[in-house]
Amino acid sequence: MIVGLFPDLSSAGGIQRAGRLTAAALLSYASRRGETCTSLSLNDRADTSNARIGSQEIQFTGFGRSKRHFAAAAWRVAGEGPRLVVALHPNLAPIVAAMKFRSPRTRFVTFAHGVEVWTPLNAMRRWSLDRCDLVLAPSAYTVRQLIEQQGTKPEKTGRLAWSLGPEFDARKTPTATVPPTGFPSGRIILTVGRWDAGEAYKGVDHLIAALPELLRDVSDLHLVAIGGGSDLPRLEQLSRQSSAAENIHFLPFLDPEQLDAAYDSCDVFALPSRGEGFGLVFLEAMSHCKPVVGGAHGGTPDVIEDGESGYLVRYGEVSELANRLRRLLTDEPLRRRMGTAARYRVVRDFTFERFSAEFTARLDGLLSAAR
């Protein structure tokens, strides 16, 4: 048996999408080995459910945010002596440690994502993380923080970058589509994310601040922010106070087809965040041949090649952000050249096939060493 432990599989968000990527790869891995694959999700509704990634259906059991029931189920599964357990968040490490106590021959892998391990965890979680056989992270920066902040042994860490889903077809060239409802005409800066108050480091407020300056050179420019969350009222208030209020548009989370249309319809994608552990939205924009602007912090430099597929900017440097955006918006050949380079980078480095192959190699090595 192979077991996956997930915080959440069915909702929107980067960690949830990373979870679905991993669940799909685990399911394929178990199938190739002739083993069963069991997936447990803490925060999904209490029931047996399905999540879709591409054409693949992932069946899992949710526990309606009940940590007690989730932990009890994990303990029962550990009693069956699974060969491998993969946990998709460091917050699940204490459960992993308990499972290891019950099934010491099982190999345990935990994923870290980003900001949650950039400062020291509490003593219990650090101790639990140390009980894992392997801790993976999507960026070199987060791997370093695991070692420096959590005291994880370097030989127990590894980098495994996320990817687009299996539905991405590198052979298909993006084609123009009809913009989603509410999408303005003109030149477009697009940003996409979950706007939560606890993650108010995404830099959307800096995009709002840069827009009046950019409008002096690009009169038909609009900023479109797609997403929702508890920080949205603050961002909407900032936009109302801006002299560029009429050029700022907030759209709710869109379904995948409409989101694709939004990427197709923008000129530049920007998320000048200081706290991205990786940034799957960059990959989505890049797959549509769009140049991207991101923060020169965290895991973003692992995705964006500064000056090649887009630009990296220092968080809070609104003038620097405006200069990079102006350069892209006023130079169509540059925009096209960087957009082409961005898609090439996705096709080369960030396909599901690459992710699944690297993940499989990591798991094979771990299980071989346990024999």
Task: Please provide the size of the chain in residues.
Answer: 371
Are residue 203 and residue 342 in the same domain, yes or no? yes
The domain tally of the chain equals 2
Q: Is residue 181 part of a domain?
A: no
pTM of this structure: 0.94
Are residue 125 and residue 216 in the same domain, yes or no? no
- 63 neighbors 42 (Cβ within 8 angstroms): yes
Residue 199 CA: distances (Å) to CA of 101, 183, 206, 311: 35, 25, 14, 22
The CATH number of the domain holding residue 289 is: 3.40.50.2000
In this model, does residue 232 exceed pLDDT 80? yes
Q: Is residue 54 part of a domain?
A: yes
Are residue 133 and residue 11 in the same domain, yes or no? yes
Q: Rg for the chain (alpha carbons), in Å?
A: 21
User: What is the C-alpha separation between 371 and 356, in angstroms, rounded?
Assistant: 23
pLDDT at 176: 67
User: What is the C-alpha separation between 87 and 108, in angstroms, rounded?
Assistant: 8
Smallest CA-to-CA distance from 163 within 7, 359, 311 is with 359
- 46 neighbors 73 (Cβ within 8 angstroms): no
pLDDT at 11: 85
Are residue 343 and residue 198 in the same domain, yes or no? yes
Q: Provide the pLDDT confidence category of residue 370 given band limits of 50, 70 and 90.
A: low
Are residue 131 and residue 231 in the same domain, yes or no? no
Q: Is residue 295 part of a domain?
A: yes
Digit-coded pLDDT (tens) for 60-96: 999 999 999 999 999 999 999 999 999 999 999 999 9
What percent of the chain lies above the pLDDT cut of 70? Answer: 99
What percent of the chain lies above the pLDDT cut of 90? Answer: 89
Cβ neighbours, 10 Å, residue 257: 9
Average pLDDT over the chain, rounded to an integer: 95
Are residue 76 and residue 195 in the same domain, yes or no? no
Are residue 75 and residue 216 in the same domain, yes or no? no
Q: Is residue 177 part of a domain?
A: no
Average pLDDT estimate for 318-345: 97
Digit-coded pLDDT (tens) for 233-275: 999 999 999 999 999 999 999 988 899 999 999 999 999 999 9
Are residue 46 and residue 76 in the same domain, yes or no? yes
Average pLDDT estimate for 273-286: 96
Q: Is residue 171 part of a domain?
A: no
**Alpha helices, DSSP H only, in 266-317?**
280-287
Are residue 149 and residue 194 in the same domain, yes or no? no
Q: Which of the two residues, 270 and 52, has the higher pLDDT score? A: 270
pLDDT at 55: 77
Tokens at residue 336, please? Answer: 């096209």
Q: Is residue 136 part of a domain?
A: yes
User: What is the C-alpha separation between 170 and 290, in angstroms, rounded?
Assistant: 15
Are residue 14 and residue 159 in the same domain, yes or no? yes
Q: Is residue 325 part of a domain?
A: yes
Domain that holds residue 226: 187-349
Are residue 192 and residue 107 in the same domain, yes or no? no
- 156 neighbors 135 (Cβ within 8 angstroms): yes
Angle in degrees, CA 274, 276, 277, rounded to 5: 130
- Cα torsion through 288, 349, 137, 229, rounded to 10: 0
Are residue 88 and residue 162 in the same domain, yes or no? yes
Q: Is residue 175 part of a domain?
A: no
Under DSSP, the state recorded for 174 is P
Q: Which residue has the tokens 């994502």?
A: 113
β-pairing, 268-271 with 187-194? parallel
